[in-house]
Amino acid sequence: MQDTEFIKYWQTRYPEALPINYELKTVYPDRWFRIHSLPESKRYAENDSEYQIILDRQNTLINDLIGDTTEIIISFGLYTDDISNENYKELTDFGEFVKVQTIDLKKERPEENEHELFFDIYIKIDHWKSNSKDEILKAIADDEIRAMFICPTSDCIIAPYDGGVDIIVDSIEKRDELKLKYKDWLSEREDGL
C-alpha cells in the first residue's frame, strides 16, 4: 500500500470512524476486544520481567493476528490548533512518518470542540516481524507515544495503549474466537475494559 492510498482504504473499510485509536472500540463494539498486557490487569511495568511479559503477550497476539513479515501501516496522530496543508515527513525515534491527512475536529465534531482543533495523521508503511517493534511497543506501554498498527491483508487494527491492546477484527465470529483463545488475558469486567 502506498502512503496516498491510506485515506481511501480507511474511508472504505472504516467509514464510520476517524483514524483515532482510542475511539474505535465505541464505533465498532461488535468487532472489538481488549487484552491486558500484564497479569491481574496491572497497568504499568515496574521491572524488566514485567516488560518482557508485555512484549511476549503483544508479539504473540500480533503474530497470531497478522503473521510474520506482513505489510502493516503504523499510524499516529497529533492534535494541533494550527492548520498546515503541507504533506511533510516527520522524523521520530521510530523512523520517518508521512502526514497524510489533517482532520478539522471543530468541523467534524462541533459539539465537542468550540475552538479550532486539528488532528494530523501520520503513517509509515512497514512490515511486521516478531520483536522488531519492541521499542515502539515499550514506548506505548509507558504512555510516551500512541500509535496503532493497521493490517489491510488481515483486515484488523491493533491499537496498543498503556495497559493493553485494543483489537478490531473483521467479524463478530473472529472476535469471539480470539476472545476464547486469549481468555486469560482479558479483563474480568463485564464491559471488557
Residue for grid cell 496503532:
148
Sheet holding 95-104, edge to edge: 32-36, 164-168, 156-161, 148-151, 71-80, 118-127, 95-104, 89-92
Burial (CB count within 10 angstroms: exposed 0-12, middle 13-18, buried 19+), residue 96? exposed
29 vs 6: CA distance, rounded Å: 23
Task: Dump pLDDT digits (tens) for 109-129.
Answer: 888 877 888 999 999 999 999
Say yes or no to pLDDT of 5 above 90: no
Task: Dump pLDDT digits (tens) for 51-101.
Answer: 999 999 999 999 999 998 899 999 998 888 766 555 555 667 788 899 898
pLDDT of residue 109: 84
101 vs 7: CA distance, rounded Å: 8
